Structure 1
């Protein structure tokens, strides 16, 4: 999943999360676990890989790519659905269809 800036704002990034593996605890909190940049390093369904594109000192504008979030798939072909994940799509997103090989989420 690509993460983009949606604010109508021009400025400089002052803080940005590190690239690497993040782990979700049983209470739902998420914390940085370790550095990696390969999606194969995700060891369980409780982990995700975040790859940062925009870092501290970079300029920030609406539509800028902030990073990519990758999670392990269920292995049964299930894909993320915005309505089930609580995501809001704009008119452009609603026209898109999942492609073969798209990111799988549980």
Structure 2
């Protein structure tokens, strides 16, 4: 009697271990996928370096100005960089910066 019961516990333990391993694999794969999506999600022109290089060309947002310093903080957000980058009109980009700066001051 003791033999089969012991085997069931071992099988149960093995099944539990197998489930835990499967769960670990799922977690690692999901993290890997999330990292891959995040890395690939950075569209061309949306890196901090690229966005700030463009900001410095805007009138009133030249390197070292108050608006430029504000942009250094604003564009720590990937979403803000993407929104800024998809705007094709230079005036809209400048307005975007100024509007966000005013929001931050209030």
Instruction: With the length of structure 1 as denominator, give the TM-score of the two structures.
Output: 0.19
Q: Which has the higher helix share?
A: 2
Structure number with higher strand proportion: 1
Q: TM-score, normalised by structure 2?
A: 0.19
